[in-house]
Amino acid sequence: MKSYLAAAIQMNSLPDLHKNLAQAEELIDLAVRQGAELVGLPENFSFLGDEGAKMVQAEQIAQESEKFLKMAAQRFQVTILGGGYPVPASQGKVYNIALLVDPSGQELSRYEKVHLFDVDLPDGNTYRESNTVVAGLNMPPVHPSKELGNLGLSVCYDVRFPELYRHLSQMGADVLFVPAAFTAYTGKDHWQVLLQARAIENTCYVIAPAQTGHHNSRRQSHGHAMIVDPWGTVLADAGEAPGVAIAAIEPSRLEQVRRQMPSLQHRVFL
């Protein structure tokens, strides 16, 4: 594993596939111009807003999202995570897929989101992801990379389930991806502290691309895409506007924290 720059992209995706892909391309370009070699796009990067419209276009969104990720990785010569897009499944529903692609445009790994966001929030908003999404059945993968470290995948609501990240750390993860479209209401209280907790308890870097702003008349995302180091220090925070959080992933820092705080070696209950 070498030292390199990673980017967590922050988008304001809308119910418009082609506008979203154009926005994603601009932000990937911005990240690469700043030296990023590993780039993460948020959950719902290619379409966010109206569930009915998403389901009607699901097949097109799936095809164009995957094509875009592979072409962008090749064009910019970087490894890209597409943090979540719909892929048609059974019974008229979709999977929420995260896809990792290498600089040659080859698929490295994919993950079907397992934890679905079915929540009634105190602000009056209700979310029922399971109405349109089929939950994945498998733990997320860890992709081994000699240059970038071992990359563990997850998506948004997964961040509230620490056992998933403990699995990833047991599988050797050095970097945990948490691409999200975190709600504004929950994000203000929970987003940063959850990311820091997952980084600290697993002594891993966390790269958390995010959605921000309004996506339709009711849905609003928290923003604050960030990168957190294994000690829990926030290295970069994109704030509330679309943009990029960039920080260095340092193997020496990873080794230092794991040496100074070897908590994973002290576990009693496995």
Give the Cα separation of 143 and 127 in Å (integer).
31
Q: Which residues pair with 118 in a beta bridge?
A: 128
**Residue 204 belongs to a domain:** yes
**Residue 56 belongs to a domain:** yes
Give the Cα separation of 232 and 197 in Å (integer).
7
**Residue 270 belongs to a domain:** no
List, for residues 8-58, the tens digit of each pLDDT value: 999 999 999 999 999 999 999 999 999 999 999 999 999 998 888 999 999
**Residue 8 belongs to a domain:** yes
- Letter for the amino acid at 119? V
Average confidence (pLDDT) over 53-75:
97
Place of tokens 């719909």: 86
- Would you say how long the chain is, in residues? 270
**Residue 267 belongs to a domain:** no
Q: Whose CA is closest to 100, among 118, 116, 119, 78?
A: 78
Does the pTM surpass 0.85? The reply is: yes
In CATH, what number is assigned to the domain containing residue 228? Answer: 3.60.110.10
Domain of residue 56, residue span: 4-262
Do residues 106 and 136 lie in contact, with contact meaning Cβ atoms separated by under 8 Å?
no
Give me the active site residues, please.
Answer: 43, 113, 156
Token pair belonging to 37: 């070699």
Task: Tell me what pLDDT residue 265 has.
Answer: 92
CA distances from 20 to 47, 82, 102 (A): 7, 12, 21
Task: Tell me what pLDDT residue 217 has.
Answer: 80
**Residue 268 belongs to a domain:** no
Number of domains in the chain: 1
